[in-house]
Structure 1
């Protein structure tokens, strides 16, 4: 099925020898916005890491953007990640260079060569998150919310099929969290598939969407009112 971005069947996820999650069966389809919720330590990050190739899949079968996770070799991981946009809680911006140079660094690292094309792409993604005028600034000159917008822009650089956002509002105050969520919602409306791990239930109520829950070593879909 061409519209399935993530497909997991009978998957178990391990951190070294210890079982974190088991019997995972789920699909994420193109264009969906999906929350991943659960207590700290319930396996949300391990789940995310498996999808972007940081934890090897050793049990069950899984595909992410047509990559077979069971057959994924070390050398394939950069190509998988080019189809993904990953947004972390703590922004992960390089402090010693401007926002434009942060984004330029990613483009060069993923094989872009043409300076004009790179500049145009950087302007485009910053425009999409409302940060077009801030490219010359350094990360420490931006607020937390602005840094997270830049991190989202960075995730868009290679036109990803799937954005994995791991607690993207975890370090932000409630008002800023809502602003960042609106940016993610807009990106989703433009056709990007998003999986967002969060423990911010206020956002789920404000922006209801399909919700997966990690609990008791399982991952299952929940109806919003049972969250």
Structure 2
């Protein structure tokens, strides 16, 4: 099986500053991987490199069949169609309801058939248990529900990989567990998930392969199971 992600001798830059050096990583289809580390350690910079918000300048990187070193501006939307991204702060558009938030993403990624879009939106809302909120505005639903919608949005284009950048960062512990259970379920249905987090309680509760960013590098840590 081809890895969905391969990084070889990668250095990650923010401006002229190398925040991570000598990163080597391989992720296989269907894996669930945590990337842990303190705030400011470089987790988000690594994630941004994967979804092409930061350019990969040094080393080799292939992600969902795209060579990250040769990625052109016009390739980026196509790369992003093959991945789903879940952010800490939900990033829902506040001026439109749940349905229109999802519709906006489908239209932006090239969908045009009204009926197909409707079917797809209902399907992803069903997957995350949020069909009842289809006409609600983001401010009318809780943080946990907003994050479920954000997960639904990430599933719209049936991505090969979901990148979750601190997806429980703004949630209380109980809601964090619910969102985590949802992500685990999606993973068990075959999706690869790479999740940056510093929520150690969650990692202990849902142990899986864990990589740590520390002192500018990335290494695997062996978890102690409770």
Considering the TM-score relative to the shorter chain, is it more than 0.5? Answer: yes
Alignment deviations for residues 69-115 of structure 1 (CA, whole Å, 9 cap, x no partner): 00001111000000010000000000010000000000000000111
Q: Which position in structure 2 is the counterpart of 1:108? A: 107
Q: Which position in structure 2 is the counterpart of 1:48? A: 47
Q: Which position in structure 2 is the counterpart of 1:89? A: 88
Taking the aligned partners of 1:193 and 1:144, their CA distance within structure 2 comes to 24
The alignment covers a number of residue pairs equal to 225
Taking the aligned partners of 1:63 and 1:212, their CA distance within structure 2 comes to 19
**Which consecutive unaligned segments of at least 5 residues does structure 1 have?**
none
Taking the aligned partners of 1:192 and 1:99, their CA distance within structure 2 comes to 23
How far 1:221 sits from its partner (Å)? Answer: 1.0
Which aligned pairs between 1:61-100 and structure 2 lie closer than 5 A?
61-100=60-99
What TM-score, normalized by structure 2, do the two folds share?
Answer: 0.98
SS of the equivalent of 2:4 reads: strand
How far 1:198 sits from its partner (Å)? Answer: 0.5
Taking the aligned partners of 2:39 and 2:93, their CA distance within structure 1 comes to 27
CA RMSD of aligned residues (A): 0.9
Which aligned pairs between 1:141-180 and structure 2 lie closer than 5 A?
141-180=140-179
Q: Which position in structure 2 is the counterpart of 1:117? A: 116
Taking the aligned partners of 2:133 and 2:65, their CA distance within structure 1 comes to 36
Taking the aligned partners of 2:220 and 2:54, their CA distance within structure 1 comes to 23
Q: Which position in structure 1 is the counterpart of 2:21? A: 22
Taking the aligned partners of 1:170 and 1:198, their CA distance within structure 2 comes to 8
**Which consecutive unaligned segments of at least 5 residues does structure 2 have?**
none
Taking the aligned partners of 1:162 and 1:224, their CA distance within structure 2 comes to 24
Taking the aligned partners of 1:225 and 1:17, their CA distance within structure 2 comes to 37
Determine whether 1:206 maps to 2:205. Answer: yes
How far 1:224 sits from its partner (Å)? Answer: 1.0
What TM-score, normalized by structure 1, do the two folds share?
Answer: 0.98
How far 1:118 sits from its partner (Å)? Answer: 0.3
Taking the aligned partners of 1:225 and 1:185, their CA distance within structure 2 comes to 20
